[in-house]
Structure 1
Amino acid sequence: MSVAQPTYRVGDQPQFGTVITNTSGTACSRDFGAGPQFLVYTLDGQKRLWASNDCNPDNPPETKTLKAGEQLSYKGAWFGTTSQPNCVGERAPVPAGAYMVVAQLGPIRSAAEPFNLAA
């Protein structure tokens, strides 16, 4: 999990990236269509603010086979607003502060990566 820079200004679009690696000794197939997704939380991890799939939940299946040790890279951007599953509710701008992002594919989550939004 990576963030392109440690601090963004409110109104900018933080850029995220993650690399998915097949750590097994054999090839494996997985549906990458519904994920991976990026999730933004308050820095303490107590409140989920946004997920990249909230307003795009119906991505078509995209099964890929990764050879042992093979990697896939994914990138995403956040518009700095809140969201909820199925895009329910109002999308409010997030204020300046400290946040963290994680990448998730199915039940597997990356370590959190902190970043800041400055006024």
Structure 2
Amino acid sequence: MNTPEVMALPVCASSQVTLELAGAQNSYQPKDKPKLALTVHNSSAANCRVDLGRTASAITVTASNGERIWSSGDCPSDRSGNWVQIPANGSLTETFTWDRSRSKQQCATADPAPAPAGNYLVVADLTGLSGGQVSARSSIRLES
């Protein structure tokens, strides 16, 4: 991460990167914290780098009614870049854990109640790539 070797690599092009987002399981019991795996695939023949820092990559959870519940990019305590190497014709996976809390953009006060049982759309966005952003979607269910 952010090593001279990684920083010397070219930034990955959006045309050569795909994302895959998956929950560790499809449904979670009330005490479980959903774990989400974001895999970045590089289809090019050369190593490149992506920024997985909280200002360049985000996981956003939205309720089935369209209400935005939480995002890893809301009010991050660390706003620095987290540049990592994606190997040629390879991939890298990062895991996020959601504690069922709610968040608001720009550090606004969020509803303190945890997210209720229901179905949720989870979207991963990766910006800062040469050529634009790439996204992936998945869904999870919180049980009551």
Please indicate, yes or no, whether the TM-score normalized by the shorter chain is above 0.5: yes
- Deviation of the 1:76 alpha carbon: 0.6
TM-score scaled by length of structure 2: 0.70
SS at match of 2:95: strand
1:23-44 deviation digits (Å, cap 9, x = unpaired): 2233323323234321111236
Q: Does 1:108 align with 2:134?
A: yes
Q: What's the TM-score, normalizing by structure 1?
A: 0.82
Which segment is superposed worse, 24-33 or 71-80? 24-33
- Which one has the largest radius of gyration? 2
Identical amino acids, percent of aligned pairs: 28
Aligned to 2:80: 60
Moved over 3 A (4+): none
Equivalent of residue 88 in structure 1, options 108, 114, 125: 108
Question: Mind listing any 5+ residue stretches in structure 1 that lack a counterpart?
Answer: none
Task: Say which of 20, 31, 41 aligns to 2:62.
Answer: 41
Q: 1:115 & 1:96 partners in 2: Cα distance?
A: 10
CA contact 1:38–1:52 (8 Å) conserved in 2: yes
Which structure shows the higher helix fraction? 2
Preserved CA contact (<8 Å) 2:51 2:57: no
Matches within 5 A, 1:5-16: 5-16=25-36
Residue correspondences, number = 117
* Structure 2 residue ranges without an equivalent (≥5): 1-20, 128-132
